[in-house]
């Protein structure tokens, strides 16, 4: 067990080292300074930088990240539902799933190459248009940069699959988790800097007894955000751990040479069976329209430029302070959070239908002589399980979607009170959602593995 955990930690260290290896394109320091200014000035840049674990700011070889693999996973899973032969292959068990996984890997490579080309093109045409940081790239430089970025993305996919095989959680989710956690020191440093920066009369006065050398306004805002974060954290843990226990009765079970009758077992059905995958899928899917919008703007064609600007405007995390200050509050500010909410619900249902196979469970129960009280084995059991899962998923997906958009609501509430929260709340809210869900799932996997290792003690 210790070797497994150490192996996963070693892989995460490799990932973080890769995030600091720059693409061989320009002078790294000059490029980093330009990218830092651009990322800090746009919500979309900050959002992509958060998910890439700071790789965007470094313009590293893992800049493309796991987005191609996530997109390929969505494509193959959608096709497995739409094409009967693929659905049959998915039901074939481990051998069928391995073939689908192999196809997912194959689709990932062209997607990674396409996104690498797009990233370089966008940087050249927009961010670095007035800079000589990239200059005139010759074909060999293009090929070298694209190979480095595509290889970095494929290597991340491979590292994620190794973590999954080690059996302590979903590898892709853990790498995204590690990327978000890596931004924590920088965030804490920014908060501390804001707390210790104050003018005359702005220091925190405690009941007129003494004065603390911290900014009073920032202290109250940080305190309110932390308190709200703890409340959201509590409900998020409760929702993640909530489950419905279905009692399974067995008419007769044979163990060795002994037959048992009247044996009971349980089938736990989680409220959110899909875990954090719906949030990751939703975030990756939401980044695509703005990404394509940037490509259209960078193309320079007037017919595409206006469409691209609209896509970037509609599908980036809305900045409440800017919208209120410039009187730009309209229906476009609702597009991102509303689509985010609907995507979380949709992907929760979609991924649950893949993870929880009611037909297979009902079939296995019937073969083993198991049944649910008041429900006939076979088709009725399958329909009962489907109804139960759909009801749980309905409440769970709405709760997950509400928690996902809650930071946007709080950001606008603070902006109306005159507090500039920027996009830190929305970014932090998404990050918190992913971090907590992945941490709980990983802890569950570790406990399950530990129980399996020490199972002999319970014999």
What per-residue confidence (pLDDT) applies to 363? 86
Q: In the predicted model, what is the mean pLDDT of residues 299-303?
A: 71
Q: Cα angle at 433 between 429 and 437, to 5 degrees?
A: 165
**Residue 326 confidence (pLDDT) above 50:** no
Q: In the predicted model, what is the mean pLDDT of residues 203-210?
A: 72
Give the sign of the dihedral formed by CA 442, CA 446, CA 451, CA 453.
positive
What pLDDT, in 10s, does the model give residues 267-298? 888 888 877 778 878 877 887 787 777 777 77
Q: Are 195 and 220 in contact (CB under 8 A)?
A: no
Domain boundaries, the chain: 1-182, 242-459
CATH class of 1-182: mainly alpha
What per-residue confidence (pLDDT) applies to 45? 52
Question: For the whole model, what pTM was predicted?
Answer: 0.73
Q: Are 338 and 62 in contact (CB under 8 A)?
A: no
What per-residue confidence (pLDDT) applies to 26? 60
What per-residue confidence (pLDDT) applies to 62? 82
Mean pLDDT computed over every residue of the chain: 76
What per-residue confidence (pLDDT) applies to 178? 84
Of the listed ranges 22-31, 375-384, 429-438, the one predicted with least confidence: 22-31
**Residue 7 confidence (pLDDT) above 80:** yes
What per-residue confidence (pLDDT) applies to 135? 56
What pLDDT, in 10s, does the model give residues 129-142? 555 555 566 778 78
Q: In the predicted model, what is the mean pLDDT of residues 343-363?
A: 85
Tokens of 375: 């429900």
What percentage of the chain carries pLDDT values higher than 90?
Answer: 3
What pLDDT, in 10s, does the model give residues 374-397? 888 888 888 998 999 999 999 888
CATH number belonging to the domain at 242-459, selected among 1.20.1440.230, 1.10.3370.10, 3.60.110.10, 3.40.640.10 = 1.10.3370.10
Number of DSSP helices (H) and strands (E) in the chain, helices first: 18, 5
**Residue 323 confidence (pLDDT) above 80:** no
Q: Are 99 and 128 in contact (CB under 8 A)?
A: no
Residue by residue, what is the 3-state secondary structure of 241-256? HCEEEEEEEEEEEEEC
What pLDDT, in 10s, does the model give residues 147-179? 988 998 899 899 988 888 876 777 888 888 888
List of residues 6+ apart from 8 with CB closer than 8 A:
163, 166, 168, 174
Same fold, 1-182 and 242-459: yes
List of residues 6+ apart from 278 with CB closer than 8 A:
343, 344, 347, 348, 350, 351, 397, 400
Integer Cα distance of 382 and 370 in angstroms: 13
């Amino acid at each position: 067990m210790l070797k497994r955990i150490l192996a996963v930690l070693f892989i995460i260290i490799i990932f973080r080292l890769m995030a600091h290896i720059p693409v061989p394109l320009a002078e790294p320091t000059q490029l980093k300074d330009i990218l830092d200014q651009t990322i800090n000035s746009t919500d979309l840049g900050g959002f992509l930088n958060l998910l890439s674990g700071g790789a965007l700011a470094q313009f590293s070889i893992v800049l493309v990240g796991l987005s191609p693999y996530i997109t390929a996973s969505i494509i193959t899973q959608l096709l497995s539902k739409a094409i009967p032969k693929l659905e049959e292959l998915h039901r074939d068990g481990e051998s069928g799933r391995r073939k689908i996984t192999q196809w997912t890997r194959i689709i990932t490579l062209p997607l990674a190459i396409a996104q690498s080309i797009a990233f370089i093109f966008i940087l050249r045409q927009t961010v670095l248009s007035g800079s000589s940081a990239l200059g005139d790239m010759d074909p060999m430089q293009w090929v070298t940069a694209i190979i480095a970025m595509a290889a970095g993305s494929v290597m991340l996919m491979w590292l994620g699959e190794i973590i999954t095989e080690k059996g302590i959680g979903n590898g892709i989710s853990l790498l995204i988790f590690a990327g978000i956690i890596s931004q924590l020191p920088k965030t804490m440093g920014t908060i501390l800097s804001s707390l210790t920066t104050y003018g005359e009369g702005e220091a925190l006065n405690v009941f007129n007894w003494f004065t603390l050398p911290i900014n009073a306004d920032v202290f109250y805002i940080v305190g309110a955000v932390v308190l709200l974060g703890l409340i959201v954290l509590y409900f998020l843990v409760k929702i993640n751990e909530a489950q419905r226990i279905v009692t399974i009765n067995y008419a007769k079970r044979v163990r060795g040479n002994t037959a048992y009758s009247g044996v009971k077992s349980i089938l736990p059905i989680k409220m959110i069976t899909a875990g954090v995958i719906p949030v990751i899928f939703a975030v990756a899917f939401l980044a695509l329209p703005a990404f394509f919008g940037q490509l259209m703007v960078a193309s320079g064609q007037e017919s595409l430029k206006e469409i691209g600007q609209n896509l970037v405007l509609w599908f980036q995390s809305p900045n409440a302070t800017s919208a209120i200050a410039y009187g730009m509050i309209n229906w476009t500010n609702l597009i991102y959070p509303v689509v985010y909410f609907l995507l979380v619900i949709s992907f929760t249902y979609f991924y649950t239908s893949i993870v929880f196979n009611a037909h297979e469970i009902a079939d296995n129960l019937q073969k083993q002589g198991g049944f649910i009280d008041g429900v006939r084995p076979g088709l009725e059991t399958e329909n009962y399980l489907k109804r139960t899962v759909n009801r749980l998923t309905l409440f769970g997906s709405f709760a997950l979607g509400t928690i996902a958009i809650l930071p946007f609501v709080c950001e606008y509430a603070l902006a109306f009170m005159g507090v500039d929260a920027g996009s830190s709340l929305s970014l932090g809210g998404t990050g918190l959602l992913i971090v907590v869900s992945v941490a709980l799932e990983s802890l569950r996997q570790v406990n399950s593995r530990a129980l399996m290792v020490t199972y002999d003690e319970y014999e």
